[in-house]
Copies of this chain bind each other. A is one copy, B any other.
Amino acid sequence: MPSPRSGARSRTSKRIGSGSPEPLILGIDLGATKVVSGLVDARGRLVRHSGRIVHANDGPGGVIRSLVQSARACLDEESRAPVAIGVAVAAQVDPRAGTVVHAPNLGWRDVPLARRLSEELGAPVELINDARAATLAEWRFGAGRGVDDLFCLILGTGIGGSAVIGGQLPEGGAHAFGEVGHLTIEVGGRRCHCPNWGCFEAYAGGWAIAERARESVLADPTSGAELVRRAGTHETISAQTVFAAYRTGDPLAVRLVHETERYFADGVISVVNAFNPSVLLLGGGLIAGLPELVPVAESAIRARCQPPAASARVVRAGLGENAPLVGAAERARQAHVGAYSRARRSANP
């Protein structure tokens, strides 16, 4: 039905499945450059979704406006309000307070996002860190279904991760459990974007692969010619440029990929020795671009982890880029639908 908000209808709003289940749960994935909202059913399927570009420069007010628009575009065919809304944010969030504590890429500090969204959209809002949301989604609906001890390692521009430990999804003392991108793998090593040196991410994250490639190109422009040709300029070389050149046998790209594999193996060994997961899930853009990393992880674990930890299975994450949105919706469902059902049961025993 047309709603008073139909002016906000999204160009990108889509109907993926048919119908929508009871109760209505909205998941939202807020990144540094875009926001995607989606209706998610109880089996973790994205029923309908809508995206908007966001501009961090607009500040929290502008970003929240885009977020509300994308949410309303998903809801405008519905005659009822959602029961709950979950928002995955690429940030440190405090789920209890409902605040985004620190989102470096958005430039936010202590933004009371849950309250502001709840006022706009008329439903309770749960916040969750995006890596934790992706882990929850993979655990409930994806490649980690039913595994009680799981580590989900997500390799993109940075390296994120989160864990299921004994059938729980821990938060940590300051909502930062499982930040294994900042394990030191080289004492006194490369400068990270965090205050440390030698971090896993500072060698094997997407930004670091690009940085190492650019340094190599500057040091030896002749051997770097192929990378520059592909990227257009030396400044625009990315990890994916390196992976593409590697596929054609470019010697510099081959060296960079082999070095990346070595650093990646050491990070994976640390994660598996420290967390002792039964299953290590690997996801993110780097795994999509260089799936060779999956067998690299597998053989490093078998050869070099401690005997009890060396039995961990390595599996590719299954839900792709929708995982944070689906996990955020699931978190909202856990927080509100259970209570709703319990209240109904105790009212009608």
Interface residues of A (CB under 8 A from B): 92, 101-102, 148-149, 165-166, 168, 170-180, 182-188, 194-198, 203, 262-263, 266-267, 269-271, 273-279, 303-312
The CA of A276 and the CA of B274, in the complex, are separated in Å by 13
Cα distance A160–B186 in the bound complex, in angstroms:
21
| This chain: copies in complex | 2
Complex CA gap A174/B309 in Å reads: 6
Residues on B with C-beta less than 8 A from A171 are: 166
Contact A306 B179 (CB under 8 A): yes
A187 adjacent to B308 (CB under 8 Å): no
Q: When the two chains form the complex, which single residue of B185, B262, B270, B277 contacts A172, counting CB atoms closer than 8 Å?
A: B277
Instruction: Identify A274's interface contact among B180, B186, B277, CB under 8 A.
Output: B180
Cross-chain contact A270 with B273 (CB below 8 angstroms): no
Determine the distance from Cα of A187 to Cα of B259 in the docked complex, in whole angstroms: 11
CB within 8 A of A277: which of B173, B196, B307? B173
> Which 3 residue pairs of A and B lie closest in terms of their CB atoms, listed nearest first?
A172-B276, A173-B278, A149-B173
Q: Please give 10 more A-B residue pairs, beta carbons under 8 A apart, in addition to A92-B307, A177-B276, A194-B306.
A: A92-B308, A165-B165, A165-B172, A172-B309, A173-B279, A177-B275, A179-B308, A180-B274, A182-B274, A195-B310
B305 touching A196 by the CB < 8 A rule?
A: yes
A176 to B307, CA, bound (A): 9
Q: B262 touching A179 by the CB < 8 A rule? A: no
Q: How far is the CA of A78 from the CA of B175 in the complex (A)?
A: 48
- Among the listed B197, B263, B274, which residue makes an inter-chain contact with A183, where contact means beta carbons less than 8 Å apart? B274
State in angstroms the CA–CA spacing of A203 and B271 once bound together. Answer: 19
Q: State whether B165 touches A274 (Cβ < 8 A).
A: no
Residues of B within 8 A of A275 (CB): 172, 177, 274
Task: Tell me, in angstroms, the Cα distance from A273 to B303 when the chains sit together.
Answer: 26
Chain B residue with Cβ nearest A279 = B173
Please pick, from B174, B271, B273, the residue contacting A308 in the complex, using a CB distance under 8 A: B174
A183 and chain B: residue at smallest CB distance: B270
Complex Cα spacing A102 to B149, Å: 21
A143: min CB distance to chain B, Å = 15
Q: Can you list 17 contacts pairing A with B, beta carbon distance less than 8 Å?
A: A149-B170, A166-B168, A172-B309, A173-B276, A175-B276, A179-B274, A180-B273, A183-B270, A184-B266, A184-B269, A185-B187, A187-B262, A187-B263, A187-B266, A194-B304, A195-B310, A196-B306
**CB-contact partner of A186 in B101, B187, B304, under 8 A:** B187
CA–CA, A187 and B198, complex, Å: 10
Cβ of A196 and Cβ of B263 under 8 Å apart?
no
**Residue on B nearest A280 in the bound complex, by CB:** B173
Q: Point out the residues of chain B lying under 8 angstroms from A102, CB to CB.
A: 307-308
In whole angstroms, how far apart are the Cα atoms of A309 and B175 in the complex? 9
Docked pose: A254 CA to B279 CA in angstroms: 43
Contact indicator A185/B185 (Cβ below 8 Å): yes
Give min CB distance, A149 to chain B, whole Å. Answer: 4
Q: Report A108 CB to chain B, min CB distance, Å.
A: 13
The complex places the Cα of A266 from the Cα of B185 at a distance, in Å, of: 9
Q: Which of A175, A179, A188 has the most CB of B within 10 A?
A: A179
Cross-interface CB contact of A173 among B179, B185, B203, B312, cutoff 8 Å: B312
Contact B101 A176 (CB under 8 A): no
* A179:B309 contact, CB within 8 angstroms: yes
